[in-house]
Every structure is written in structure tokens, then in C-alpha cells.
């Protein structure tokens, strides 16, 4: 095999229909959506139609969907504006969140004096909800909880409905980074009434550079970027029309094919777990990534029985075999610090061994997984 792409948690292959839709948008709908002439009105209609489409699938109001450049901007928008506009004094999060959240709350603590509390984690990386309740009741400050639905490195899923209820019973706002779950799980914001969530199109076979924030109506948040009245006044700047069209198409195709594609990718993950257990029995699955009931169906994180010196060549070996995977989040791939997620849940001895994240999509096959497991086995044994 020439190429095997198993890094779908970093980004995904764009669907063919999404590419066609974006090409049409670029070629035929080049007016500025804020212009009042027919070219502009046509583009504006497309933007608002996409907003309504996304809102409909999520049982939200169109005004609650704000297009952004992706998940990182959306996380920054919500957290920073909550402190600035809603007078949030305390943010409760965990130490295994995406850096879009962790670095933002650290900056808020430094710049604004925001108090940041970290909920305890169990040995698998799950937030301790009893401890969360204690933190929520610690004082009378205005609080916001930020916990991701699906962890991007180990795939753990939190009980988002329970967390949401716990926050609201205690008078706190709830934000969830749902970048790894939007497009993979059904969402109903009336059923699970989160205050804020974030999404990125490139995680569900859409284009990079576009995403959205769900901001509950009448939240009180003011503009994050000034300079124009676009995006219902929340985000100034000419809308990226072709990207929004790509996001809409990817979103629709993800949810119209959700049941079949979930079943297919779940089977791939189950098969990969079985093959790893058969061929490399000393391997360990980090977090709950090896448990289909407690983690997302899209990824596994495997700790391999390889000594530290040899481990330095593992990703190079796989890349030479044409296999794309990662040792953690793509956002920190240039760092030598290792995974901040695994640092929180693995022992010092386990951290010396290499851990690799393999993430799957509808475009993968069992033959690719067999090839990957064989390449891993060869490296472990040689």
C-alpha cells in the first residue's frame, strides 16, 4: 500500500460533493454577502440558508449559529467574551482540554485575574463529577464550566447531559468544545441545553478554516471582532462564502449518512482493537480509547511496548511505510514536550513508551488496518 491515512482526528479528507459545492460557490457566487446588489444578495441568501440548515439539524435558532474560522477561534470567542461581557469570575475546566481552551483560560487568569479551577480526573482521564459539584459550590462567584465532549487524544466521552444539568442547577454557564463530536454524534440543544459549543468543518470531511460557535440566544455576549455587523454582530469581517457552503454540505452529508457511517467506522475501530490485541498483546489502550462504550468510535490511542530510544524512530518508520498517524494533537506536533493529556493519566514508566493515536473515517478499510498492524508488529519485534 502506498498511503494509509489514519489521522482523521487531526483533519479529514474532504467529501467530493463538498468540493463541487465549493467550486460552484467560488465560480458563480462571488458577491460580498454584505453588498445590497443582486450579487451580494445571492451570497447573503446562501450564508443564511447554511445557518438555517445547521440550526435545524441541532434544533437551534438560526441566530444562535455564528460562523468562525474554526474551533480555536470559537473557543476563544466564547471564553473571552464570557469573562468580558457576562462577568464570569471563575472558569472550571480540566487539564486535558484542547490547548484552545487551556491556553485561553491561562491568558484570562494572567490578563483579567480570572480564577481557574481544574476538576479532578480519574485514572482513565474522566472528570470527577463529585469534585465538579464541589468546585461549583465553592463560592458565589459567577462561574463557567468548559469541558470537551470527546477528548481529541484519548477519545473519552463525558456524560454531557449530566454535566450540563450539574452546571445549571448550580447557576453556572456550560461551554463544551465539541470539535471531535459535531458531525459524528446527533445534537439537540433543547434536549441538552448547553450555553455554548464549538465546531470545525474539517473534522467531518469539510474544508479547513471554517467552523461555528453555538451561542444560546440572548446570552449577552458582545462582538468578539469589531469592524462590521456580520454574523449577527458577533464577528466582523466578510464571510468566507465558499467555506460556509462547504461546511453546510459536509454537515448535511454527515448527518444524512450518520447511522451507516457510524456503524462502518465503529466496525473498523473494533477490528483494529482486536488485531492489536492479537498481534501485539503487550500493547495498552490509553484512557478509555479501547472501550467502544466509553469512547468515540473514531479513534484509539495505543501505548506500545518499545524502549524509549527505539521509540524515537516509530513515527518515521510508519511514515516511510506510508502510514499517517500522530503522537497527539496536530496542534502540538512540533513540540518536544509530549502529550499534556497522557502526562495527566499515565505513570512515569508508561510515559517512556511511545503512544500513538490512530483515527478512522469512512474512507478507511480493514485492509489498511491489517497493513498498519503488521507494520507496527514488525517494528516492535525487530
Residue 274, C-beta contacts closer than 8 angstroms, at least 6 positions apart? none
Q: How far is residue 147's CA from residue 21's CA, in Å, rounded to a whole number? A: 34
110/213 Cα distance (integer angstroms):
25
Q: Supply the DSSP symbol for 228.
A: S
Residues comprising the chain, all counted: 382
240 in Cβ contact with 210 (< 8 Å): yes
Helix axes 38-58, 241-256, angle to 10 degrees: 30
- ∠ CA 97-75-172, nearest 5°, is 80
Exposed, middle or buried by CB within 10 Å (0-12, 13-18, 19+), for 362? middle
- CA atoms of 333 and 136, how far apart (whole Å): 34
Q: Judge whether 331 counts as a catalytic residue.
A: yes
Q: Which of 241, 205, 185 is nearest to 18 (CA)?
A: 205
Phi, then psi, of 147 in degrees rounded to 5: -135, 130
Task: Report the 10 Å Cβ neighbour count for 323.
Answer: 22
Give the active site residue among 164, 167, 303, 331.
331
Q: Give Dmax over CA atoms of the chain in angstroms.
A: 67
Residues with a known catalytic role? 331
Amino acid at each position: 500500500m502506498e498511503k494509509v491515512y489514519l489521522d482523521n482526528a487531526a483533519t479529514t479528507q474532504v467529501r467530493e460533493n463538498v468540493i463541487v459545492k465549493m467550486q460552484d460557490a467560488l465560480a458563480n457566487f462571488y458577491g460580498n454577502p454584505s453588498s445590497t446588489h443582486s450579487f451580494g444578495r445571492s451570497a447573503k441568501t446562501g450564508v443564511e440558508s447554511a445557518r438555517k440548515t445547521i440550526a435545524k439539524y441541532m434544533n437551534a435558532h438560526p441566530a444562535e449559529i455564528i460562523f468562525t474560522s474554526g474551533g480555536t477561534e470559537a473557543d476563544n470567542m466564547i471564553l473571552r467574551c464570557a469573562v468580558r461581557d457576562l462577568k464570569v469570575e471563575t472558569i472550571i475546566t480540566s487539564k486535558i482540554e484542547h490547548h484552545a481552551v487551556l491556553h485561553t483560560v491561562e491568558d484570562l487568569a494572567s490578563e483579567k485575574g480570572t480564577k481557574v479551577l481544574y476538576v479532578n480526573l480519574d485514572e482513565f482521564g474522566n472528570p470527577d463529577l463529585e469534585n465538579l459539584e464541589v468546585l461549583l459550590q465553592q463560592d458565589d462567584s459567577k462561574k463557567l464550566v468548559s469541558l470537551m465532549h470527546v477528548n481529541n487524544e484519548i477519545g473519552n466521552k463525558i456524560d454531557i447531559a449530566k454535566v450540563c444539568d450539574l452546571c445549571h442547577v448550580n447557576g453556572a454557564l456550560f461551554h463544551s468544545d465539541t470539535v471531535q463530536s459535531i458531525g459524528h454524534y446527533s445534537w439537540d440543544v433543547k434536549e441538552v441545553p448547553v450555553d455554548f459549543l464549538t465546531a470545525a468543518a474539517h473534522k467531518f470531511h469539510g474544508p479547513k478554516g471554517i467552523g461555528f460557535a453555538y451561542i444560546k440566544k440572548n446570552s449577552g455576549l458582545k462582538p468578539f471582532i469589531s469592524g462590521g455587523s456580520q454574523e449577527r454582530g458577533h464577528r466582523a469581517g466578510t464571510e468566507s462564502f465558499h467555506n460556509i457552503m462547504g461546511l453546510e454540505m459536509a454537515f448535511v452529508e454527515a448527518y444524512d449518512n450518520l447511522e451507516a457511517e457510524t456503524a462502518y467506522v465503529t466496525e473498523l475501530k473494533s477490528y483494529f482493537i482486536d488485531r492489536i490485541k492479537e498481534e501485539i498483546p503487550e500493547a495498552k489502550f490509553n484512557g478509555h480509547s479501547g472501550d467502544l462504550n466509553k469512547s468515540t468510535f473514531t479513534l484509539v490511542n495505543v501505548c506500545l511496548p518499545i524502549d524509549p530510544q527505539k521509540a524515537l524512530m516509530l513515527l518515521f518508520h510508519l511514515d516511510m511505510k506510508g502510514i499517517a498517524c500522530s503522537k497527539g494533537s496536530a496542534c502540538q506536533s512540533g513540540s518536544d514536550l509530549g502529550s499534556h493529556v497522557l502526562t495527566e493519566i499515565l505513570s512515569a514508566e508508561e510515559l517512556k513508551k511511545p503512544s500513538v493515536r490512530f483515527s478512522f473515517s469512512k474512507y478507511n478499510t480493514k485492509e489498511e488496518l491489517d497493513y498498519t498492524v503488521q507494520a507496527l508488529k514488525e517494528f516492535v519485534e525487530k
